[in-house]
Structures are given as structure tokens and as C-alpha cells.
């Protein structure tokens, strides 16, 4: 393993581009008076990352489960939403725990394989989220603006999801290809392991890639999404007032407006969460003197935490803004509570087994009744 030059450590690493690396910049370099060394700062970072990981895993897993569990939720839009949840789960489980440890240690201790894998995985997940948000916006634009009642077929939907992952894998590939794992000597007798970007050509290659990804991953997608939802909102506002239309048509129009509000809010949260990180990264690419700031690592980490909040925000939005998801979430917990009550009654009457068939039937009936009630509520709305 060849040693890494000081130039690579201090300049190449911040050029990870708008796709956040699975690790903080200036990897392995411990500056004097680095605020991240303070115990109070480390406690706050541990709490912040732990909260994001916990909420992200629980919320996104719940979204995937209810779409799988309730047939009424198996629509094209919800399949795309499940794809978003899978991408966020990838970040929550594979990337953020290592990011936290690396931020606190200031040294890469996870070996060569993860050095190449983790930045790539996080870049892949962010690209998948961005492309999926675009696909959702364009699909709704097609259906609402052009009055196309024929929905996208599910096999086509799965094909689009597959293409999304392939395209994202290609766009994120430079994060794995142009990377180097090596050792860096801070001072005689003190050598640490680092994981840095290493571009084969000019030193500006990393900056070019970073700015290109900023355009492809942030500004261009948000422009397309904004255009699509602006036209959708204009179309829905020009619709006949629900009070003046037929009952079924008015209900469908109301659902479309509510769903569009939820999807627009998702995009706004995504854009606002990532804006500070992208702005800071762009400033770093344009002016290398930003790297000399005393609080550079702390600022980078704070902006990264803000960006990662988008990985758990969507499930909260679904439960808050969509009756369908809210009913499904409540049904899952009520079914579990009903099942536990049923098992509790069974254990109290027949603790050693034998003669428990009746108690088990009552517990099962309670769960089924809860599920039937949930199905009735789910059928009343649509996404």
C-alpha cells in the first residue's frame, strides 16, 4: 500500500462533489483545536446521527412494509415511493454508521473494500432518490395535465425503477473508481490510514466532476420537477370547484390535489435539506482557501447532518399529509397490539398449552377485524 501524499489528503478529498461521501472531508487529518475533538460536540453528533439512523430505518421500513402488506397501496406512485424508501434505507444502514465513526476518529479504520464501497453506495442512493422524484413528477404531469386516464402499467413501472438504479450506478461510479486507500504520516512515528479521491488527470478533474454532479443531481432535476408541478398545480386550480362537480369526480379531484401537495412538500424538503451542503461544497470547489477554515470539518459535518435529515422526512410526511398512509401505519400498530392482547388472553387461560384453540381463534379474529377495518379506510382514498 503506497503512502498518500499530503497534497492528496488536503486537497483531493473535498472534491467529492454534490454526492456526499460516506465520510467527512479532510479524512484522517487532525488539526489543532478541531471542534470535533470536543466531547460535547461528539455527544451532539452521536445523538444527531443516531436519531437520523433510527427514524430512517423505522420509517422507511414501515413504508415498504405497508405497501407490501396492503393491496390497495400497490399503485405505481407508491412503488416509486417504495423505491425512495429503499434508497434511504441504504444510506441509513450502510453509510451513516460508518460516517459517524469516521467523523469522530478522524481516521479510516474500515479497510480498503469499504473505502471504495461506502462513498459509492451513498452516491448511488442520492442519485436514485433524485431520479425517482423526477419520474414521479413526470408521471403525474402526464396523467393530470394531459388527462391520460391510462396509468403506467406495473411491469413498465418496475422497468423504470430498474433503469433508475442502472443509471444511478453509472453516474456514481467515479466515486468508487477514482479513489485511493493508503497511509499518511502526520509526524514521525504517527501514521494513519486515509481514504481519498485520486483523479488520474489534472487536479481540476475532481472539481469538474463535482460541479457536473451538482448540475445533474440538483439544479437540473429540481428545474424539471418545479416545471412539472407548476403545470400540475395550475391545472388543478383551474378545475371546476368540487362543490360544483359530480360526487366521484370531486372526490378524485380532491385526492389528486392532496397527493400533489404531499409530493411537492417531499421535493421542497429534499431541496432545502441538501441546499446548504451543496452550497458549501460548491464554495470549496471554487475557492480552495475554504479548506483552511478552522471549523471546516465541523461545518461540513453539520451540513451533512442536515442533508441526511431528508432520509427520514418522507415517512413523516406520508403519515401527516396522506390519509391512506396514516390509516395503514395505524393499522400495523393496532394489528400488533390486537395480536398481543389475543396472545395475552391465551397465555393467561392456557399457560401450558392444550385447549388453547379457542383462545387462539379469538386472538386471530381480533387481528383480522382490525385488518378489515384498515382495508375499508384504505379503499376510501388513493395515492
Query: Which residues on neighbouring strands pair with residue 183, listed in sequence order?
Result: 3, 193
How many angstroms separate the CA atoms of 78 and 83, rounded?
A: 8
How many angstroms separate the CA atoms of 232 and 142, rounded?
A: 9
Q: H or E element: which one contains 186?
A: strand 179-187
Task: Name the E strands within 296-382.
Answer: none
Torsion angle (degrees, nearest 10) of CA 221, 222, 228, 233: 160
Torsion angle (degrees, nearest 10) of CA 10, 14, 15, 21: 130
Are 63 and 82 contacting, i.e. CB atoms less than 8 angstroms apart? yes
Show pLDDT as tens, one digit a residue, over the chain (383 residues). Answer: 444 444 344 333 433 334 433 344 444 444 446 788 889 999 999 999 999 999 999 999 999 999 999 988 999 989 999 999 999 999 999 889 999 998 888 888 898 899 999 999 989 999 999 999 999 999 888 888 887 666 788 899 999 999 999 999 999 999 899 888 888 877 777 788 888 888 887 767 778 888 888 898 899 999 999 999 988 888 887 765 444 445 555 676 677 777 888 888 888 998 999 999 988 888 888 887 887 788 888 899 999 999 999 999 989 888 888 888 888 998 888 876 555 554 433 232 233 343 444 444 444 444 434 444 444 455 444 45
Question: C-alpha distances in angstroms, 294 versus 21, 300, 343?
Answer: 21, 12, 59
Residue spans of the domains in the chain: they are 6-320, 322-383
* Distance in Å from the first CA to the final CA of the chain: 53
How many angstroms separate the CA atoms of 117 and 372, rounded?
A: 44
Burial of 333 (0-12, 13-18, 19+ CB in 10 A): exposed
How many angstroms separate the CA atoms of 45 and 163, rounded?
A: 36
Query: Which residues on neighbouring strands pair with residue 3, listed in sequence order?
Result: 183
CATH topology assigned to domain 6-320: Rhopdopsin 7-helix transmembrane proteins (1.20.1070)
Are 128 and 310 contacting, i.e. CB atoms less than 8 angstroms apart? no
| Phi, psi angle pair for 226, to nearest 5° | -60, -40
Amino acid at each position: 500500500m503506497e503512502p498518500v501524499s499530503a497534497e492528496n489528503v488536503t486537497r483531493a478529498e473535498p472534491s467529492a462533489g454534490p454526492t456526499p461521501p460516506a465520510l467527512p472531508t479532510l479524512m484522517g487529518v487532525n488539526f489543532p483545536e478541531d471542534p470535533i475533538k470536543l466531547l460535547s460536540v461528539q455527544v451532539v453528533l452521536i445523538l444527531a446521527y443516531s436519531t437520523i439512523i433510527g427514524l430512517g430505518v423505522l420509517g422507511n421500513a414501515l413504508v415498504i412494509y405497508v405497501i407490501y402488506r396492503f393491496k390497495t397501496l400497490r399503485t405505481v406512485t407508491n412503488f416509486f415511493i417504495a423505491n425512495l424508501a429503499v434508497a434511504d434505507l441504504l444510506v441509513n444502514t450502510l453509510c451513516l454508521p460508518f460516517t459517524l465513526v469516521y467523523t469522530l476518529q478522524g481516521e479510516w479504520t474500515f479497510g480498503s473494500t469499504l473505502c471504495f464501497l461506502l462513498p459509492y453506495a451513498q452516491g448511488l442512493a442520492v442519485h436514485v432518490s433524485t431520479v425517482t422524484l423526477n419520474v414521479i413528477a413526470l408521471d403525474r404531469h402526464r396523467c393530470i395535465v394531459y388527462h391520460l386516464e391510462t396509468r403506467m402499467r406495473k411491469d413498465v413501472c418496475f422497468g423504470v425503477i430498474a433503469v433508475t438504479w442502472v443509471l444511478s450506478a453509472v453516474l456514481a461510479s467515479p466515486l468508487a473508481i477514482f479513489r485511493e486507500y493508503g497511509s499518511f504520516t502526520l509526524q514521525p512515528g504517527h501514521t494513519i490510514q486515509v481514504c481519498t479521491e485520486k483523479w488520474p488527470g489534472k487536479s481540476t478533474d475532481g472539481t469538474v466532476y463535482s460541479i457536473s454532479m451538482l448540475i445533474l443531481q440538483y439544479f437540473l432535476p429540481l428545474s424539471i420537477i418545479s416545471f412539472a408541478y407548476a403545470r400540475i398545480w395550475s391545472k388543478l386550480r383551474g378545475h371546476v370547484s368540487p362543490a360544483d362537480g359530480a360526487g366521484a369526480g370531486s372526490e378524485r379531484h380532491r385526492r389528486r390535489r392532496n397527493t400533489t401537495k404531499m409530493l411537492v412538500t417531499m421535493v421542497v424538503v429534499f431541496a432545502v435539506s441538501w441546499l446548504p451542503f451543496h452550497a458549501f461544497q460548491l464554495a470549496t470547489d471554487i475557492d480552495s482557501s475554504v479548506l483552511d477554515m478552522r471549523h471546516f470539518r465541523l461545518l461540513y459535518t453539520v451540513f451533512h447532518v442536515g442533508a441526511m435529515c431528508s432520509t427520514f422526512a418522507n415517512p413523516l410526511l406520508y403519515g401527516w399529509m396522506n390519509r391512506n398512509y396514516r390509516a395503514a401505519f395505524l393499522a400495523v400498530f393496532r394489528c400488533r397490539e390486537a395480536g398481543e392482547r389475543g396472545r395475552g388472553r391465551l397465555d393467561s387461560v392456557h399457560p401450558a398449552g392444550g385447549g388453547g384453540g379457542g383462545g387462539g381463534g379469538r386472538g386471530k379474529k381480533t387481528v383480522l377485524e382490525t385488518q378489515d377495518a384498515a382495508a375499508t379506510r384504505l379503499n376510501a382514498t388513493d395515492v
